[in-house]
Structure 1
């Protein structure tokens, strides 16, 4: 019991410290998520507390649990008009855009880290997708001030692009471990993952929406409703994973369907569900901060920063232009979408996949992904408000 109490004491103190520090850091434009990462690093092996932690399996499990809740929350908060306005451009960014970003960032990783093409592309895929938690947390209420199609594209893309990144990571791991696997096999795998993930998410969403209308839930039971939604989301996520489908697609679409089909019930539960999502984010980022070893980061700082620069300044902007220019997005909005490509927990969690698969040198991927995320949250996040004002996108063109 003493060990349990100590773990509860340390965990509670770290979460509380991160929350309080985040309240002040947000005034400077820094995300709460960045604060939780830093608190975890300070508590880790190189910090004052010196807590040793290297359990990648635990981080993998907690990461998937947290991402399930984060994506569910994102889907539940997406209204129908946002989905309609942003679906086409967001779908392009979440598929073609992620693939292009992965390829360009992978080429930079090959040069900066002296990797062969398969390992370089794998690292590019790990860091290719934007993170729903980071984007939602950074923009917050400012999303409402952006032009509707722009904010809808940003919001829907951040929830849709994780499955493509997961598919690319798993495919490249399979290619490294079995070089003779063919492209047709990978396409069949993608169709299976995406198709069954979509079917499970849509079907479960319709079923639960039907059930919610028949349950005795009212405005006095928001906490119970939120717990029911969270539990159902985890069931959908787990079920999709058990049949080797895309759990990310399933849980996000599950949330989207519920948001449209059971709007009143979902809306009443969102404040309570927000607490679960924040707890999941806080726990995940603290754990990821504990997992990293800062003195190892210093050895890779130069190459990792080069990869981060290529990602933010070349790969993401080029992918955005190629996807959005044909849809006649103004150049100012293209620039804003490129800048909002924040990285968060997803790349760090995806970096655990190669480690668990036993890929040679995969521990470096985790360190590089961590540097990329830190760079994104430190440099991109605080500049978003000023950039929106400089581009005239902070409300002056709201109907655009």
Structure 2
């Protein structure tokens, strides 16, 4: 056992080293998740660090808490106006797509290795969902912009498909352990879990917005601390009601982002830092938990299953799930290629370990290898995939806005960040002074071609411009209605 000082020193050292090396990783395009996992393995018992850690329960708990903050932060950074057109396709991928992936992997593993049906489907369910942490991390750190609604679809899918994977994994474990459970009970439990998750997430999100706007806290920092506690409360409350806590916190984050909330910028920025800390801690812990020699002992089987998942199972699930939606072939191809697996499958792989399933250790090692190969083969070359398919959008290097605005509850003004989308032809190519929507407001900056500039009344706006508008709060609703 380590004393407190040694423990704090090791934890802080691992985090500091991870962040410093992350800069190098980002420069060469290596997914940061791989870096954090690698540092965790190097610090582990089979690496030079020599830290022995094999407590799956602690690793699972750290992972679950981390995902809570990652998903809430992801909701805070996801714009409903962008997600709305992709809502039903994303839901199809998050439910039917996860189920189809589970079935495809289960069939393949059963006939490849001649192991039981339930164990085969258990492995399929564990790796069936794309990972929010991996998707958000890859898209944000690489500054990847995709044409159409593809990025919004990928983010929304990754933020909502975890509950289905968790549900399938737990249900199959119950069947393996011969617990008396009927198929109709499984279906009813799924509907209850999703329904409660959506309902509690929506109601709690609205309540959180109301409290933040009405409570005039004496200290600005209380707003972020209150929101942090509220996110944990939403998760635990939903889980206690037998709902999906992960789905609830993601929806609550979406609602907070969509609504007019005081100190929203501070809250979003705070949770961005919390989410990164959670990712680092989660991946370091999972890296410590794994024993690389055991992972490599199954390398050929793991590689075969991984390639099948990437090249067959994911494309099949995507094309079937999106069959009734209007997506072009190249859009479906890109969505198929970006089926990133990350921390969620590794965390789900701890469930069989804790349940005492005989094949649990084998499943864990195979899943860990799949996550590594998926991140490298699908995450690293993502910009090239997008370019080859002509799905990438030209993007200048994004810089922070030069304007900061403290939105106090007593203020009657608000600074809004708006984007001129492809459907706003009546605004594009017109001078600001000619646009009636902005009467009584002030456009303070325009972001175009990687640069900010201060416009005048004669400035011609273009599609794709990102503008900052200072507007009275009583006029926000009208402006938001037009831009939503």
TM-score when normalising by structure 2: 0.79
Match of residue 289 from structure 2: 291
The CA RMSD measured in Å over matched residues stands at 2.0
Counterparts of 1:116 and 1:326, CA distance in 2? 34
Counterparts of 1:334 and 1:265, CA distance in 2? 38
- May I ask how many residue pairs the two structures share in their alignment? 398
Q: Show CA shifts across 1:12-52 (max 9, x none).
A: 11111111111111122211111010000001111012111
Counterparts of 1:107 and 1:399, CA distance in 2? 43
The ranges of structure 1 where at least 4 consecutive aligned residues each deviate by more than 6 angstroms after the TM superposition are: none
Counterparts of 1:68 and 1:250, CA distance in 2? 10
Shift of the 156–172 alpha-carbon distance from structure 1 to 2, 3 Å rule, reads same
Given that 1:194 and 1:246 are in contact with CA atoms closer than 8 Å, whether structure 2 keeps it comes out as yes
Given that 1:227 and 1:273 are in contact with CA atoms closer than 8 Å, whether structure 2 keeps it comes out as no
Using CA pairs under 8 Å that are at least 6 residues apart, name the structure with larger relative contact order, 1 or 2. Answer: 1
**Aligned with residue 259 of structure 1, among 257, 260, 272:** 257
Does residue 1:41 correspond to 2:41, yes or no? yes
Given that 1:112 and 1:303 are in contact with CA atoms closer than 8 Å, whether structure 2 keeps it comes out as no
Given that 1:304 and 1:368 are in contact with CA atoms closer than 8 Å, whether structure 2 keeps it comes out as yes
Q: Show CA shifts across 1:88-146 (max 9, x none).
A: 11011000011101111122222444321111101100001001110011011666621
Match of residue 314 from structure 2: 316
Q: Which has the higher helix share?
A: 1
- How far is 1:238 from its partner? 1.1
Q: Show CA shifts across 1:331-367 (max 9, x none).
A: 1111111111111100000011111112121111111
Shift of the 361–225 alpha-carbon distance from structure 1 to 2, 3 Å rule, reads same
Which piece of structure 1 moves more, 272-281 or 238-247? 238-247
Match of residue 480 from structure 2: none
Shift of the 24–142 alpha-carbon distance from structure 1 to 2, 3 Å rule, reads closer
Given that 2:212 and 2:223 are in contact with CA atoms closer than 8 Å, whether structure 1 keeps it comes out as no
Which piece of structure 1 moves more, 180-189 or 143-152? 143-152
**Aligned with residue 300 of structure 1, among 298, 301, 304:** 298
Please list, as runs of the form range in 1=range in 2, the aligned pairs for 1:97-176 lying within 5 A after superposition.
Answer: 97-140=97-140, 145-176=145-176
Gaps in structure 1 of 5+ consecutive residues: none
Shift of the 172–2 alpha-carbon distance from structure 1 to 2, 3 Å rule, reads closer
- How far is 1:181 from its partner? 2.2
Match of residue 369 from structure 2: 371
Given that 1:237 and 1:250 are in contact with CA atoms closer than 8 Å, whether structure 2 keeps it comes out as yes
Match of residue 277 from structure 1: 275
Q: Secondary structure at 1:49's aligned position in 2?
A: coil
Counterparts of 1:263 and 1:87, CA distance in 2? 23
Which piece of structure 1 moves more, 365-374 or 75-84? 75-84
Q: Secondary structure at 2:340's aligned position in 1?
A: coil
Q: Which has the higher strand share?
A: 2
Q: Show CA shifts across 1:183-207 (max 9, x none).
A: 1010111112111122211111111
Counterparts of 2:143 and 2:149, CA distance in 1? 11
Q: Show CA shifts across 1:154-209 (max 9, x none).
A: 11111011111111111111111126522101011111211112221111111111
Please list, as runs of the form range in 1=range in 2, the aligned pairs for 1:170-209 lying within 5 A after superposition.
Answer: 170-178=170-178, 180-209=180-209
Counterparts of 1:111 and 1:167, CA distance in 2? 24
Which piece of structure 1 moves more, 280-289 or 358-367? 358-367
Shift of the 8–171 alpha-carbon distance from structure 1 to 2, 3 Å rule, reads same
Counterparts of 2:316 and 2:59, CA distance in 1? 33
Q: Show CA shifts across 1:271-299 (max 9, x none).
A: 12111111111000000000000110111
Q: Secondary structure at 1:171's aligned position in 2?
A: helix
Does residue 1:395 correspond to 2:364, yes or no? no
Match of residue 345 from structure 1: 343
Does residue 1:88 correspond to 2:88, yes or no? yes
